[in-house]
Chain A
Amino acid sequence: MKNAIEALNLTKFYGEILAVDHISFEVREAEIFGFLGPNGAGKTTTIRILTGLSRPTSGVAQVLGYDVVSEIVEAKKHIGVVPEISNLYDELSAFKNLLFMAQLYGIPRSQRKARAEELLKAFGLYERKDHLFGTLSRGMKRALTIAAALIHNPKLVFLDEPTVGLDVVAARSLRNLISNLRYQGVTIFLTTHYLEEADHLCDRIAIIVNGRILKIDTPEMLKAIAEERPIIEISFKKASSRIIEELPRRLPELKIVATNHNKVRIYGGTPSSVLEKVLQYAKSEGNEIDKVNSVKPSLEDAFIKITGLSPTIMAVEKGGK
Chain B
Amino acid sequence: MWRDELRGIFYIALKDMRTYYLKPPSISWGIVFPFAWILAFYLRNPQNFEQLVPGLIAMTILFSTTAAEAVVINFELRLGSLERLLLAPISMSAVLLGKVIGGTIFGLIMTVAVTLGSMVALGLFNISVLYLALIIVSSLLVFSSLGALLCVLVKEVFEAQTLLNLPRFIMVFLCGVVYPVSAMPLALQYIAYLLPLTYTVEGLRQSFSPNPSAVIFVDALVLIIFFTLFILPATKLLQRKFM
Contacts and interface: CB of A to CB of B under 8 A. Distances in A.
A53 B86 contact: yes
B183 interface: no
12 contacts: A52-B86, A54-B243, A81-B87, A85-B80, A87-B83, A89-B19, A90-B79, A91-B18, A92-B18, A104-B11, A106-B4, A106-B89
Which 6 A-B residue pairings sit nearest by Cβ, starting from the closest?
A76-B89, A87-B80, A103-B11, A77-B89, A104-B88, A87-B81
A83 B83 contact: yes
Given A87-B79, A89-B81, A103 B7 contact: yes
Interface of A: 51-55, 73-74, 76-77, 81, 83, 85, 87-92, 100, 103-106, 148
Kindly name the residue among A81, A92, A104, A148 whose own CB sees the greatest number of chain B CB atoms within 10 A: A104
A52 B19 CA distance: 26
Given A87-B79, A100-B15, A106-B4, 15 more contacts: A52-B87, A53-B83, A53-B86, A53-B87, A55-B243, A76-B89, A83-B84, A83-B87, A87-B81, A89-B19, A91-B18, A91-B19, A92-B15, A104-B11, A104-B85
Interface in B1-57: 1, 4, 7-8, 11-12, 15, 18-20
Kindly name the residue among B11, B19, B84 whose own CB sees the greatest number of chain A CB atoms within 10 A: B84
A74 B80 contact: no
A100 B91 CA distance: 17
A106 B7 contact: yes
Interface residues of B, number: 24
Given A83-B80, A89-B81, A105 B243 contact: no
Interface string B179-207: 00000000000000000000000000000
A85 B83 CA distance: 10
B90 interface: yes
Interface in B67-86: 79-81, 83-86
Contacts of A89: 15, 19, 81
Contacts of A83: 80, 83-84, 87
Nearest to A75: B89
Contacts of A88: 81, 84
A87 B4 contact: no
A51 B87 CA distance: 7
B24 to A, nearest CB: 13
Contacts of A90: 79
